[in-house]
């Protein structure tokens, strides 16, 4: 088994120019497969609200949901670096609540770090969480918990003014003590400047090749989610089609009585069958 990945291992990769790989996982079977494939960072994302629970946004996801799913992911991926996503309103109210909730994710779920959305306005909260011994990954650009203010899931930093603000946000997050920052759905030109401005490793989700590594939502890249496909997704498989093919074959087999076959049932000796029927007819 691979050695447990810790923050210094991520930094060593970054310094060597070896790209860091990151994917979401929400359950034990997917975590097992990602561990097997050698994924460095597994994010137990609040995107589970949409990919696993069929909700329209990430806002209804609760801390208890993230904790339960992160526990399952931890069992499947003992050596991956696991990041637990802080759900909507578990860190925005005040620093004390943010520390307590981040601490629950660390202690109850066994994650290695937490992630929360926001720029400058979250810097003080992040500094407080880091001071409480909890590593924080920042998340700027498209921040899905702000969907109402953003007016939809739209790429960010596409004007000079908003791009400048993103660079300031990244600086503030670094100063607050984030060990890494995820930059979502930002033009590559802007992400490049962020990468060159801050020292901490930048993970790109839909923000081009610059930075320390890449992230995708696993259900998107496996073709296991159909409601929409962000422009930044590359589909590495079409699981939906594979699964439907298997399900249709099962439905047809049952209807045509081709399943179960003799190999799927528990045998009884002829002697016992005869005894059974004789007793029954007495
Ligand atoms: N399955 C899944 N994948 C994701 O990447 C993801 C989620 N769920 N849930 C939360 C957010 C939403 N995300 C998204 C959604 C859409 C775009 C996108 O490409 N939007 C288009 C159209 C936007 C519009 O104008 O309506 C764009 O060009 O920005 C990007 C990220 C990223 N996150
Ligand atoms: C979009 C990624 C980075 C995320 O926050 C999630 O999966 O919840
Ligand atoms: Mg999230």
Inside any domain, residue 143: yes
CA separation for the pair 26, 71 (Å, rounded) = 9
Q: Are residues 184 and 276 in the same domain?
A: no
Asked if residue 257 and residue 231 are part of one domain, the reply reads no
- The answer on 113 and 155 residing in a single domain is yes
pLDDT at 53: 98
Which ligand 2 atom sits closest to the C-alpha of 43?
7
In a domain, 152, yes or no: yes
In a domain? residue 66: yes
From 48, 59, 133, select the one nearest 89 (Cα to Cα). 59
Nearest CA to ligand 1 atom 31: 230
Q: Say whether 184 is catalytic.
A: yes
CATH of the domain at 126: 3.20.20.60
Q: What is the pTM assigned to this prediction?
A: 0.96
The 8-class DSSP code of residue 181 comes to E
CB neighbour class for 9 (10 Å; exposed up to 12, middle 13-18, buried from 19): middle
The pLDDT value recorded for residue 1 is 85
Q: What is the distance in A from the centroid of ligand 1 to the CA of 139?
A: 15
Look at the chain and report how many structural domains it folds into: 2
Residues 194, 72 within the same domain: yes
69 and 181 in a single domain? The answer is: yes
2 located within any domain? no
Report how far Cα 136 is from the mean position of its chain's Cα atoms: 15
Residue range of the domain that includes 258: 242-280
Q: Is residue 82 part of a domain?
A: yes
Residue 41's φ and ψ, nearest 5 degrees, are: -115, 130
Q: With respect to residue 1, please indicate whether it lies within any of the assigned structural domains.
A: no
Specify the pLDDT at position 65.
98
66 Cα–ligand 2 center, Å: 12
Atom 23 of ligand 1, residue of closest alpha carbon = 154
> Are 167 and 259 contained in the same domain?
no
List phi, psi (to 5°) of 121: -65, -20
What does the DSSP assignment read for 18-69?
--EEEEE--SHHHHHHHHHHT-SEEEE-TTHHHHTS--SSSTT--HHHHHHH
Same domain, yes or no: 121 and 78: yes
Query: How high is the ipTM of this complex?
Result: 0.94
Structure tokens at 135: 């590593």
The reported pLDDT for the residue numbered 233 is: 98
Residue nearest atom 8 of ligand 2, based on CA coordinates: 45
Two tokens at 163?
């791009």
List CB-based neighbours of ion ligand 3 within 5 Å.
45-46, 85
Q: For residues 273 and 193, state if they share a domain.
A: no
pLDDT at res. 282:
85
Interval between CA 37 and ligand 3 midpoint (Å): 23
Given this model, what pLDDT does residue 280 score?
96
Give pLDDT, residue 27. 98
Same domain, 106 and 171: yes
Nearest 5°: phi and psi at 126? -60, -45
Same domain (yes/no): 263, 247: yes
Does residue 150 sit in the same domain as residue 201?
yes
Low-confidence ranges of the chain (pLDDT < 50): none
Q: What pLDDT is stored for residue 222 in this prediction?
A: 98
- Is 117's C-beta closer than 6 angstroms to any atom of ligand 1? no
> In ligand 1, which atom is closest to the CA atom of 227?
1
Cα dist from 20 to 23, 48, 91, whole Å: 10, 22, 27
Q: What does the pLDDT read at residue 37?
A: 98
Instruction: Indicate if 37 and 100 belong to the same structural domain.
Output: yes
Does 77 fall in a domain? yes
Residues contacting 240, CB < 8 A, separation 6+: 223, 224, 226
């Amino acid at each position: 088994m691979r050695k447990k990945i810790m923050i210094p291992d991520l930094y060593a990769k970054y310094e060597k120019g070896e790209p860091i790989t990151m994917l979401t996982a929400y359950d034990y079977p997917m975590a097992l497969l990602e561990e097997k494939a050698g994924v460095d960072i597994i994010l137990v994302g609040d995107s589970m609200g949409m990919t696993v629970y069929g909700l329209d946004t990430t806002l209804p996801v609760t801390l208890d949901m993230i904790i339960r799913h992160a526990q399952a992911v931890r069992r499947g991926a003992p050596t991956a670096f696991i990041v637990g996503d802080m759900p909507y309103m578990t860190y925005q109210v005040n620093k004390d609540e943010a520390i307590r909730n981040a601490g629950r994710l660390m202690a109850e779920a066994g994650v290695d770090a937490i992630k929360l959305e926001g720029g400058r306005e979250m810097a003080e909260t992040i500094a407080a969480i880091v001071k409480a011994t909890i590593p924080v990954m920042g998340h700027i650009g498209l921040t899905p918990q702000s969907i109402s203010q953003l007016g939809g899931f739209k790429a960010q930093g596409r004007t000079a003014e908003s791009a400048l603000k993103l660079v300031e946000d990244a600086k503030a997050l670094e100063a607050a003590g984030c060990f890494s920052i995820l930059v979502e759905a930002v033009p590559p030109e802007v992400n490049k400047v962020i990468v060159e401005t801050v020292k901490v490793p930048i993970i790109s989700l839909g923000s081009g090749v610059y930075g320390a590594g890449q992230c995708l939502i696993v259900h998107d890249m496996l073709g296991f989610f159909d409601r929409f496909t962000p422009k930044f997704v590359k589909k590495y498989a079409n699981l939906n089609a594979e699964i439907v093919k298997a399900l249709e074959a099962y439905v047809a087999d049952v209807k045509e009585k081709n399943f179960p076959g003799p190999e799927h049932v528990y045998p009884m000796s002829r002697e016992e069958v005869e005894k059974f029927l004789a007793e029954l007819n007495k």
